[in-house]
Amino acid sequence: MEVIAKTEGLKKYYGEGAGLVKALDGIDLEIEKGKFTMIVGTSGSGKTTFLNLLGGQDRPTEGSIYVDGARIDTLKEPQLAVYRRNKVGFIYQNFNLIPMLTVEENILFPLDMGNDKPDRAFFEEMVETLGLSDRLSALPGELSGGQRQQAAIARALITRPAIVLADEPTGNLDTRSGQNVLGLLKMMNQKYHQTLVMITHDLDIAQTADRIIRIEDGKIQEGRGGHVGAGQQ
């Protein structure tokens, strides 16, 4: 098993004294490269906090985070910005597309931020696979919810990141569109061997993953499909 990301003793606390909230309370976890890992848990369980820490969008109270061979919890903000741009693809529930940019411009935006030239062959193959080839000149407001999420998936993949993090990507979609987006995520994971970590509260959705990790009250409760981390089995 090749590990692309791992956490050791990961904790995130908010407040103090009687108001102390232990959002994460000692997470030891390894994520296998090229696999589709699903993190499930009830609202407030800590799963979104975990995703934000892995993506470099927040800092832990304690513990370490390693992604693609580098420790990220000790990076300064300028280094974290580069990490987020180059190593992580983000897919959000509310799409987070820029309204005044076309679909093509939204997809290429992460590369533009780093002044990087796109691999046009990869771009064209990906948008064809995602069914966006005829919508590249459209604005986000002209798309259906499913098409917006397809554009967000393409944007997340365009830099060929070490890991893609998806936060309830089907949460704002109807059942049919949600199933379509989930199928596309699974297909992109298999086609490009893209490591994907997704959070959901829907156990039916979770069954499509290679591995399921359950977080409750800031701790790992159980896992399916392999090692869940030292001290957490």
Three-state secondary structure readout of the chain? CCEEEEEEEEEEEECCHHHCEEEEEEEEEEEECCCEEEEECCCCCCHHHHHHHHCCCCCCCEEEEEECCEECCCCCHHHHHHHHHHCEEEECCCCCCCCCCCHHHHHHHHHHHCCCCCCHHHHHHHHHHCCCHHHCCCCHHHCCHHHHHHHHHHHHHCCCCCEEEEECCCCCCCHHHHHHHHHHHHHHHHHHCCCEEEEECCHHHHCCCCEEEEEECCEEEEEECCCCCCCCC
Distance CA 134, CA 75 (A): 41
On average, the pLDDT of the chain sits at: 92
Would residue 41 count as lying in a domain? yes
Which amino acid is residue 193, in one-letter code?
H
Mean pLDDT of 209-228: 78
User: For residue 228, is pLDDT > 80?
Assistant: no
Would residue 230 count as lying in a domain? no
Q: 29 with 229: CB under 8 angstroms?
A: yes
Mean pLDDT of 187-203: 92
Q: How confident is the model at residue 137 (pLDDT cuts 50, 70, 90)?
A: very high
Q: 8 with 74: CB under 8 angstroms?
A: no
Tell me what pLDDT residue 223 has. 53
User: Residue 70: which CATH number?
Assistant: 3.40.50.300
Mean pLDDT of 78-96: 94
Would residue 29 count as lying in a domain? yes
Instruction: Count the domains in the chain.
Output: 1
Would residue 191 count as lying in a domain? yes
User: For residue 230, is pLDDT > 70?
Assistant: no
Tell me what pLDDT residue 65 has. 98
Would residue 26 count as lying in a domain? yes
Which structural domain, as residue segments, surrounds residue 133?
Answer: 3-224
Torsion angle of C-alpha atoms 194, 154, 55, 142, degrees rounded to 10? -150
Residue found under tokens 């609202």 = 43
Q: How confident is the model at residue 229 (pLDDT cuts 50, 70, 90)?
A: very low
